[in-house]
């Protein structure tokens, strides 16, 4: 009588998992080897933007300054938002949002806009959207340098003592933004309408992110419960940018906390909570992994589709 042995299969395909891990590590190594190309593209992006410009980098400060002036008039005189030093509150969130939006806008067109280069020469395609992220990161760091005297004047020396937390928030958002930019770049090659939808998507996303208003104000509002909108504060917390803005704003401006019904209070700059940092880090890693995976899958046909 023949005896047949039973083979127990693992719950997942280990060889396939190892192959995927090797492929991912190989791509990251390839990207690291192309770092000189990446830095050259960043330098080119910065030079082209300010070529023959008298004011140079100062042009990138005009938008946040004008937006701060306009929104400060509206939300301190017309529809007051009860936070101290509203201009400092707003700019501490808007600078981060501007970096995210401009990076994704540049990343969206990075493959289609360099179609001839993609067709002719092989190189890691991800350096194209990442170059936009890094060039905007330079703008963000320079803008922080320029705006820091104003923040120190309005919010105190705590802005300086909590600088490590600010830089950590920048790093986390840069990772998140890199993933988002690669996702937009990869999807836009096949779905060109994404460029037209971009403005609408980010306009809605902006108002769904607590840049103009503190999250605590929404949480403290009794009007939402009366209008069956009590789910709004919870929905805002599912927005990844909510956590990045909160983590970034706290060391630059300070936390805005709920004291009671329809009552909030601002305090001096401080350290973000470990919970907020952990959530922001989780969003950053997840967005980078998903965005990179989608980009790599789509990149196989870039040369045919651009």
Across residues 21-49, what is the average pLDDT?
A: 80
* Top-ranked range on mean pLDDT: pick from 9-18, 162-171, 227-236, 251-260: 162-171
pLDDT of residue 24: 67
Confidence band for 13, pLDDT divided at 50, 70 and 90: low
Alpha carbon distance 181, 267 (integer Å): 34
pLDDT of residue 58: 72
CB 242 within 8 A of CB 97: no
pLDDT of residue 252: 95
Confidence band for 20, pLDDT divided at 50, 70 and 90: low
Q: What is the pLDDT of residues 187-196, one digit of tens each?
A: 998 888 888 8
Residue 264 bridge partners (DSSP):
258
159-168, 207-216, 218-227, 292-301, range with the lowest pLDDT: 218-227
Instruction: Please say if the pLDDT value at position 169 is more than 50.
Output: yes
Across residues 80-93, what is the average pLDDT?
A: 91
pLDDT of residue 200: 93
pLDDT of residue 5: 47
pLDDT of residue 273: 93
Q: What is the pLDDT of residues 106-115, one digit of tens each?
A: 999 988 888 8
pLDDT of residue 288: 95
Judge if pTM exceeds 0.75: yes
pLDDT of residue 15: 64
**String of DSSP letters for 71-130:** HHHIIIIIS----SSHHHHHHHHHHHHHHHHHHHHHHHTTTGGGHHHHHH--S-TTHHHH
pLDDT of residue 1: 45
How far is residue 106 from each of residues 40, 53, 100, 261, measured CA to CA in Å?
Answer: 16, 20, 10, 42
Alpha carbon distance 168, 156 (integer Å): 20
């Amino acid at each position: 009588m023949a005896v047949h042995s039973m083979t127990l299969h693992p719950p997942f395909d280990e060889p396939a998992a190892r192959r995927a891990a090797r492929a991912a590590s190989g791509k990251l190594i390839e990207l690291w080897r192309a770092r000189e190309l990446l830095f050259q593209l960043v330098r080119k992006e910065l030079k082209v933007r300010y070529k023959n410009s008298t004011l140079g980098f100062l042009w990138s400060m005009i938008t946040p300054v004008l937006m701060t002036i306009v929104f400060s008039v509206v939300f301190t005189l017309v529809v007051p938002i009860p936070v101290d030093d509203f201009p400092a509150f707003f700019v501490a969130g808007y600078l981060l949002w501007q970096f995210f939006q401009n990076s994704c806008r540049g990343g969206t067109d990075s493959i289609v806009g360099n179609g001839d280069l993609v067709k002719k020469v092989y190189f890691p395609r991800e350096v194209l959207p990442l170059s936009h992220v890094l060039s905007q990161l330079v703008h963000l760091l320079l803008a922080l340098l320029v705006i820091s005297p104003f923040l120190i004047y309005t919010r105190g020396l705590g802005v300086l003592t909590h600088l490590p937390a600010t830089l950590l928030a920048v790093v986390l958002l840069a990772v998140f933004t890199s993933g988002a930019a690669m996702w937009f770049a990869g999807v836009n090659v096949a779905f060109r309408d994404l460029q037209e939808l971009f403005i609408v998507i980010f306009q809605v996303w902006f108002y769904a992110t607590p840049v103009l208003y503190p999250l605590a104000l929404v949480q403290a509002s009794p009007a939402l419960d009366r209008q069956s909108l009590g789910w709004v504060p919870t929905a805002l917390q599912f927005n990844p940018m909510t956590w990045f803005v909160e983590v970034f704003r706290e060391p630059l401006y300070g936390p805005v906390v709920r004291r009671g019904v329809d009552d909030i209070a601002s305090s001096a700059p401080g350290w973000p909570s470990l919970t907020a940092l952990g959530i922001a880090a989780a969003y950053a890693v997840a967005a980078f992994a998903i965005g990179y995976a989608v980009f790599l899958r789509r990149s196989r046909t870039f040369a045919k589709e651009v």
